[in-house]
Amino acid sequence: NQLALHGRGVFACISPWNFPLAIFLGQISAALAAGNSAVAKPAEQTPLTAFLATRILHEAGVPADVLHLLPGDGKVGARLTGDRRGDGVAFTGSNETAWAIQRSLAERRGAIAPFIAETGGINAMIADTSALPEQVVRDVVRSAFDSAGQRCSAARVLFIQNEAADRTIEM
Contact 133, 158 (CB under 8 A): no
Q: Where are the beta strands (DSSP E) in the chain?
A: 10-14, 37-41, 67-69, 88-92, 115-118, 123-127, 155-160
- Strand-pairing partners, residue 117, are 91
Q: Which of 59, 96, 152, 170 is catalytic?
A: 152
- Give yes or no: 163 in active site: no
- Give yes or no: 13 in active site: no
Q: Which of 107, 118, 134, 170 is catalytic?
A: 118
Which has the closest alpha carbon to 119: 104, 105, 99? 99
Q: Active-site residues: which are they?
A: 118, 152
